[in-house]
Structure 1
Amino acid sequence: MNSTVAAVVLSLFSAVAYAAAAVAQERLASRSSDSGMLRLLGSGAWWWSVALNASAALLHVAALKYGTLTLVQPLGALTLVAAVPLGARVAGRRVSAVEWRGTALTLTGLAALLVTASGPAPDNVLSVPQALGVAATTAVVIGALARRNARPGLRHATASGFASGVASALTQTVTVAATDRSDSLLSAQVIVVAVLVAAFAVGGLFLSQTAYRGGLGAPLAVVTLANPVAAAVIGLSLLGERLQGGAAGVLLALVGAGIAAWGVVTLSRSAPEFPLLVDDDHPVAAVLALEPESAAYEPSLLPQQPNAPNAGHLTAL
């Protein structure tokens, strides 16, 4: 199995695990919104969802070992796609026409990106100065977007997506440096970058929580799309990643990205507007905090959330 196939397969399994965790957490949260955290800690179903989230995060890290950032990060949108049939089955309803359309558009766009972003397993990693430079630049951008007293919304969603994309880029550096090189897990490069990963993962989580205070649909789409944009910028400018096919490949990638974005927005609009805790990397995998208006309330099929690396998400990624 070549590196591209391995990355795609691992990303697919990661997306399914994130989606399954999101659906499970949504159902659990809707039934026990007044139970408190201690009650959740004693629930086997809650720990099962935590295990799914953790497994999904590990699969995402493994995908970053075999695939480039420009390939792996856009595949995080598959979590939204996987959540549609899973959520529909749990809720006992059929997938709506809007959801089918969003799914088809997302898959079509990702297929185009897959063709152009395919490449060898990543070898280049960010040096400590590069990692610090990326972190500082991203921190400045995030500070400008999420400045104090800024109204929660798309600015915070964009900042969250950038933080998550940078966290995944830094995670790839840690993974490759620790497995493909002579660097040990205690090397200065691995330790410094790992600390930055934790900082941006936590920052992305808080930013996404803030973004969703003003609604779900548009911020969800922005988080999902800003993540791979940030990762792609790092991959193409600092890690030597290239799109396949020259100018035609770049055009195909842009068209594919546009179609996938259209699909993500379509799927996001099908999610109702409820406040929630959002995953910083995979916007679909979230721990929802729903308060049903009545006993007859039935949660939405589509998880109201990833990343990541694209979710709140209970893992760092």
Structure 2
Amino acid sequence: MGEADIAVVLALAAALFMAVGDVIHQRSAHEITDEPVGHLELFLKLLRDGRWWLGSGVAAMGFACQAAALGLGSVLLVQALLVTSLLFALPLSARLSHRRVTRWEWIWAVLLAGAVAVIVTVGNPTEGATRASLQTWIEVAAVLGPVLVLCLVGARMSSGAMSAVLTGVVSGALWGVFAVLTKTVVHRLDVTSLAGVVELLSTPELYAWAVVGILGTSTQQAAFRAGSLTASLPTMTVTEPLVGCALGVVVLGETMRPGETGWVLLIAAAVTVVVATAALARGEATDLEPATV
């Protein structure tokens, strides 16, 4: 089994663990309190919730598998496969909600799985660099930063579904950045020697990785809390791989090699992923009352 094959297995394992963690986090964020709370207050309340920590532990296993996958495969490959987390969340969420998975949900699930398989096989993603220059990251921040700030401002000025969507965009984008930073950190992870530890601790991406992870977690919980899961979950699930894959190309120089006739099929598969992800997320969302953030 080659490195790319191992990366596929690890990415699918990451998708499974993250799906379980997301389902637990969704319920915890909605049930932690009936009172209106801000982003910071919500996060602090969740830090005292045992069920939230259970979900975080499961999600951490997913992040570990994702990191291992990124150490062996491209961001394009790993992020495309992480979309399949909804395939695992679908039956789990349905069972916890005491409902049956509908025929249409299974149809969308099959379409999603098929589209991801097309992207991975036809797209033939290849690895690029493992680290970007400071100038490149400054340019990314200059473009992405104002967009995320505007989304947060819009989320604060709105409520319900719109607030959940805008906050979900921020969270998904941050997790996309997190994936690219994870690849850099993993390739500099060497705890077998003092020199390796020193090199890791002197890597600026390590500290950016930690900050982005915290911000991604806090905005994720705020998105879950802001409104219906039918608004927050599809947004985050679609935004993360889109931003992660875009940065994989722009920042790390990764490429897709579908061949001359494969681009049409690849574009069709990408559109199918977006549509099927949104449809599945709406189907798996539980009937929880939206809360005010």
TM-score, length of structure 1 as denominator length: 0.72
Distance 1:144 1:92, change over 3 A: closer
Per the alignment, residue 235 of structure 1 pairs with 248
Number of the residue aligned with 1:219: 232
Structure 1's unaligned 5+ residue stretches are 277-288, 290-317
Deviation at 1:119, TM superposition (A): 4.2
How many residues are aligned here? 271
* Identical counterparts, % of pairs: 27
- Contact 1:20/1:86 (<8 A) preserved: yes
User: What is the aligned partner in structure 1 of residue 140 from structure 2?
Assistant: 134
Q: Which amino acid aligns with 1:167?
A: F
Map Cα deviations across residues 230-277 of structure 1 (whole Å, 9 max, x no partner).
Answer: 11111112322111223433322211111111111111111135368x
Unaligned 5+ runs, structure 2: 35-44
Q: Deviations over 1:43-101 (max 9, x none)?
A: xx776544322211101111111121111112222111012233445666542213212
Is the counterpart of residue 184 in structure 1 residue 184 in structure 2?
no
1:110-189 aligned within 5 A: 110-120=116-126, 123-147=129-153, 149-151=156-158, 152-178=163-189, 184-187=196-199
Partner of 2:40: none
Q: 1:168-207 deviations in whole A, cap 9, x for unaligned?
A: 111111112335xx98343378631111112222222333
Matched, 1:253 2:266: yes
Distance 1:185 1:81, change over 3 A: same
The answer (yes or no) to whether the contact 1:19–1:83 under 8 Å persists in 2 is yes
Secondary structure in 2 aligned to 1:146? helix
Displacement of 1:113 in angstroms is 0.9
Alignment partners' CA distance in 1, 2:188 and 2:123 = 22
Q: Distance in 1 between matches of 2:97 and 2:166?
A: 33
Q: For the Cα contact (< 8 Å) 2:105–2:279, is it kept in 1?
A: yes
Return the letter of the residue paired with 1:105: L
Name 2:205's counterpart in structure 1.
193
- CA distance in 2: counterparts of 1:134 and 1:80, whole angstroms: 28
Do the aligned partners of 1:174 and 1:190 also contact (CA within 8 Å) in 2?
A: no
Distance 1:30 1:224 in 2: 19
Provide the residue aligned with 2:219 in structure 1: 207
Q: Is the 2:75–2:244 contact (alpha carbons within 8 Å) kept by the matching residues of 1?
A: yes
- CA deviations 1:13-54 (Å, max 9, x no partner) are 1122223344556778899879x869854xxx7765443222
Paired residues for 1:226-305 under 5 Å: 226-270=239-283, 271-274=285-288
- Opposite residue 272 of structure 2, the aligned amino acid is I
Cα–Cα, structure 1 residues 190 and 100, in superposed 2: closer, same or farther, change >3 Å? farther
> Hey, what does 2:38 align to over in structure 1?
none
State the alpha-carbon separation in 1 of the partners of residues 75 and 219 from structure 2: 22
SS at the partner of 2:153?
Answer: coil
